[in-house]
Amino acid sequence: MTEVNARRIDQFFLFYSARADNWRNLAASAQEWVRTPDNVAAVRAALADIAPAEQFHAFPGVRSLRTLAEFVEAGQANDAAALARRISEVILLDGGMPEGLEASEGSEPDGLDIMPTVLGDGGNRRPHFETLFVTEQPPHRWPALIDQFRCLRRPEDQFTYEPVFVGSFEDAVCAAVVNPRIASVVTVDDMSYRSRNEAPALREILDPLIPERLGNASGIDLARILKGIRPELDIHILSDRDVEAMAGNASLTGIRRIFYAIEEPLELHLSILEGIGSRYETPFFDNLKKYAQRPIGTFHALPIARGKSVFRSDWIRDMGEFYGLNLFLAESSATTGGLDSLLEPTGNIKKAQDYAARAFGADHAFFVTNGTSTSNKMVVQALMKPGDIVIVDRNCHKSHHYGFVLGGCQPLYVEAFPLTSYSMYGGVPLATIKKALLDLKSEGRLDRVRMLDLTNCTFDGHMYNTRRVMEECLAIKPDLIFLWDEAWSGFAHWSPFLRYRTAMGAASAIRAWADDEASITAYEHQQDALGSNPSDEALMETRLIPDPRKLRLRVYQTNSTHKSMSAIRQGSMVLVHDVDFGEIESQFHEAIFTHASTSPNQQLIASLDVARRQMELEGYRLVMNAITIALRIRHTVNKHPLISKYFRILGANEMIPEEYRTSGFRDYLEPGTSWADIVRAMHEDEFYLDPTRMTLVCGTAGFDGTQFKRVLADNYNIQVNKTSRNSVLLQSNINNTRSDVAHLVRVLLGICTDLEQKLKRGGANIAEAFQTRVKSLMHDVPAMPNFSRFHDAFRGDAGVLTTEGDIRSAFYSAYLEDECEHVHLDSIEIDARLGDGPELVSANFVIPYPPGFPIMVPGQVLTRETINFMRKLDVKEIHGYEAVRGLKLLKMEQFGRFQQDR
Ligand SMILES: Cc1ncc(COP(=O)(O)O)c(C=O)c1O
């Protein structure tokens, strides 16, 4: 990372993460100035450092900054130190302009008592946000305009907001990016384009998007750019031109309201509040709260509802006390009387789902209360019929495999690129997917393929170029359906950096592209260049463009809202962007009926509703925070002289082979990496690393992943995500704080210090044992076996070039114990049969943890690589394998008879 350059306004991550530090520095230098009167230069420098970003924040505001500057110029060290400290405290607590501040501000000439505490009871505080005003008025008028807007506030307003004024297009973009408290925008229709500040990185990205940028720019262009960065923002346009014509322009989407100049300030004020109100509304949760307040007699199941059986009991009252009365008042098995049915929603659950669809940029959203394990099975069942082929990453979550078993579709397993040194996989290269489609096409079997099913991001953080993958696949098969399992990355929608790589982000981009006339020309040019009958080689080498007139965009996303947002455990969503959804809607509902519980938990549904509200109102800040925390962890661990001797967090260059990083991006920590480089990598590279998923290599400190995970949990109260042979996965989340980072760093430092001591004092034997252990963990890593093939008995209708098979028949074959056998992994029989047959055919899924993907699936022919991998495995948890009994295999010679019996 580069250092913050004080005059540049486009170092977005740095400004966000450095703001609190910069204020703390200013407060510290002012304090130092009190002690050492000659030290004013440092205060001036610190004040200059904060200036570029502060113009985009309502707090502390122009007046307080001016007051501070005046204290400095007048040599009032004590006053300056006190004011800087108090502003710094508010910013450190991530506070905005505290309510009530403005009332006293004008009457406080010395600016000292303007900061009410932010620590008190938050219960009565109205939610507060900031509104960006883009204006042509000269800056000296802004404070008066701010006052005018404050005068519009009324006690009955549900929220309060503070105006932030800027005077150019570029400043407006910077403000929206740098200041996550901005939730609403009011812009004039015509404004100057260039900022007075330096913004080279911003210009590199923004300039090509704005054709006529040198003179003035339009509010409509600004709205388009801001919506691309933060789609949740409400945008109001003030125009003194033909507002009726503007309002009648059908292509003008995403604008909340258009006003004729500022003729109706109160209406504008109310419109701003209403916009926030519509995001704040949580239809189901709001009703559930009302329901809980009503005196309701229950004569149906769920005795726990209303809590009487709990609070009247001597024996389980502690449960009531622990969870609180509201939980029980809000429990119900009713679907009427103010509630709704999750299985057939028509009321407030339907509305809550519609809001979620709006928030995540989908056409439809469905709440699921049994985790993404269930969401995946629902989507697979809804879209696939028996015999259909699904191209799928073999390394996907087991819910997909079980979905195929239940649905009877045939998986064509494709392999992700391996990261053998760390015993993990990345994502599936696009070339592998295209090859599978082209092979099927060459055998005349493309019609059998219905779906591509991929995990985005992978457990370890590999994000696909979702747009490119879908476009190229649609160029080969225009009606292919995509299921993106985004169990881990639902939050990514709220980052402009990551959204591009999400299913819904890419689907909107493709839809917009397909609606643009120019895309037909681009397609036709490519067709001309390829000729009438292009070879597979040519198609493999070309970045294929689909025919915009033919493609049917059918995109599904599943996400564990509980994994990355504020939903209760098991809260999950299915997001749909499918032009043909109407045709499969009834199937989709059947799939919901198949898998959903008929007693879904009310609190879970409410938490999905609330999670959506939170993300629509503060998701941008929270995700920016999660990314910033991750960058801090990455930086601190990898640059620390002692910690980095034993531990390392893998950069993008180590997690993604160079061939998939064609932009040249190496890592966030690479010196000189700019915001523009990150955006370029995000758009161009085949894979991108989600910064919040951090692979911490611990094999170099002599720990295997499982062992280190236990050490962190048992000794230091640190929970980590998954493990590999020599690493653990750390994940930063929307709830992490810098204190968490500090705790982690202390712990790692402590472990390293102990290790260092042990090695120093232990003598040669200890050092040698340590080196041997490190070598074994880091270098003696078993090669990971690819999927081999299904046995021919399960490939009755399969082609020659591809490996799909009937996994369901294989799975159910294992139900007949007589038709199965067990063979010990270390037996010589295994080796003999690998050489001379009969083939070893797995009867079930065998999934070791780690790595957590199926080494064997039902019906799979076992190869020497698979057996070698199993033999070298030193993990304790292997689902589907009992060491005492051995591998469970299908007796294939009897399989014909089994088929007849069925
Ligand atoms: C990629 C992936 N998909 C789906 C799931 C299942 O999600 P849930 O725990 O919400 O059922 C997981 C769980 O870890 C996962 O990693």
Mean pLDDT, residues 618-635 taken together: 92
Q: Kindly give the number of the ligand 1 atom that is closest to the alpha carbon of 572.
A: 10
Q: Atom 9 of ligand 1 has which residue's CA nearest to it? A: 371
Decide the pairing of beta strands 364-368 and 389-393: unpaired
Structure-token match 């920016």, residue found: 624
The pLDDT score that the predictor gives to residue 124 is 62
- Containing 868, the helix (H) or strand (E) segment is helix 864-872
Please report which confidence band the pLDDT of residue 107 belongs to, taking 50, 70 and 90 as the band edges: very low
Q: Atom 7 of ligand 1 has which residue's CA nearest to it? A: 372
User: Is the pTM of the predicted complex or chain greater than 0.95?
Assistant: no
Mutate which of 368, 375, 397, 454 for ligand 1 pocket (most atoms within 8 A of beta carbon): 397
Dist. CA 259–CA 185, nearest whole Å:
13
User: Quick check: helix, strand or coil at residue 1?
Assistant: coil
The pLDDT score that the predictor gives to residue 849 is 81
Dist. CA 254–CA 702, nearest whole Å:
55
| Mean per-residue pLDDT over the chain, rounded | 89
Q: Tell me how far the alpha carbon of residue 722 lies from the centroid of ligand 1, in angstroms.
A: 12
Mutate which of 373, 380, 394, 731 for ligand 1 pocket (most atoms within 8 A of beta carbon): 373
Q: Tell me how far the alpha carbon of residue 264 lies from the centroid of ligand 1, in angstroms.
A: 50
Peptide bond into 231 cis (omega under 30): no
Counting every residue, how long is the chain?
902
Question: CB burial class (10 A; 0-12, 13-18, 19+) of residue 569?
Answer: exposed
The pLDDT score that the predictor gives to residue 581 is 97
User: Quick check: helix, strand or coil at residue 373?
Assistant: helix
Dist. CA 337–CA 869, nearest whole Å:
58
Which tokens hold the place of 178?
């740098």
Mean pLDDT, residues 11-23 taken together: 70
Instruction: Give yes or no for a contact between 164 and 179, defined as CB atoms under 8 angstroms apart.
Output: yes
Measured from the CB, is residue 455 less than 6 Å from ligand 1?
A: yes
The pLDDT score that the predictor gives to residue 482 is 98
The pLDDT score that the predictor gives to residue 248 is 72
Dist. CA 813–CA 790, nearest whole Å:
14
**Beta-strand (E) ranges in 4-159?**
128-134
Is 80 exceeded by the pLDDT of residue 262? no
Direct distance between the N- and C-terminal alpha carbons of the chain, in angstroms, rounded to an integer:
64
The pLDDT score that the predictor gives to residue 9 is 53
Q: Kindly give the number of the ligand 1 atom that is closest to the alpha carbon of 570.
A: 10
Is 90 exceeded by the pLDDT of residue 877? no
Which tokens hold the place of 869?
């991998």
Strand arrangement of the beta sheet that strand 410-414 belongs to: 364-368, 572-578, 554-559, 481-485, 449-455, 389-393, 410-414
Dist. CA 857–CA 29, nearest whole Å:
64
Mean pLDDT, residues 448-463 taken together: 96
Instruction: Give yes or no for a contact between 575 and 559, defined as CB atoms under 8 angstroms apart.
Output: yes
Please report which confidence band the pLDDT of residue 143 belongs to, taking 50, 70 and 90 as the band edges: confident
Q: Kindly give the number of the ligand 1 atom that is closest to the alpha carbon of 396.
A: 1
Instruction: Give yes or no for a contact between 191 and 219, defined as CB atoms under 8 angstroms apart.
Output: yes
Instruction: Give yes or no for a contact between 321 and 274, defined as CB atoms under 8 angstroms apart.
Output: no
The pLDDT score that the predictor gives to residue 259 is 83
Is 60 exceeded by the pLDDT of residue 18? yes
Q: Kindly give the number of the ligand 1 atom that is closest to the alpha carbon of 376.
A: 4
Q: For 277-301, write each residue's pLDDT tens digit.
A: 999 999 999 999 998 888 877 777 7
Q: Tell me how far the alpha carbon of residue 510 lies from the centroid of ligand 1, in angstroms.
A: 27
- Measure CA 454 to chain center: 15
Q: Tell me how far the alpha carbon of residue 455 lies from the centroid of ligand 1, in angstroms.
A: 10
Q: Tell me how far the alpha carbon of residue 647 lies from the centroid of ligand 1, in angstroms.
A: 28
Instruction: Give yes or no for a contact between 234 and 276, defined as CB atoms under 8 angstroms apart.
Output: yes
Measured from the CB, is residue 485 less than 6 Å from ligand 1?
A: yes
What phi and psi, each to the nearest 5 degrees, are found at residue 154? Answer: -130, 155
Measured from the CB, is residue 696 less than 6 Å from ligand 1?
A: no
Please report which confidence band the pLDDT of residue 446 belongs to, taking 50, 70 and 90 as the band edges: very high
Q: For 202-228, write each residue's pLDDT tens digit.
A: 666 667 666 665 677 888 889 988 999
Please report which confidence band the pLDDT of residue 17 belongs to, taking 50, 70 and 90 as the band edges: low
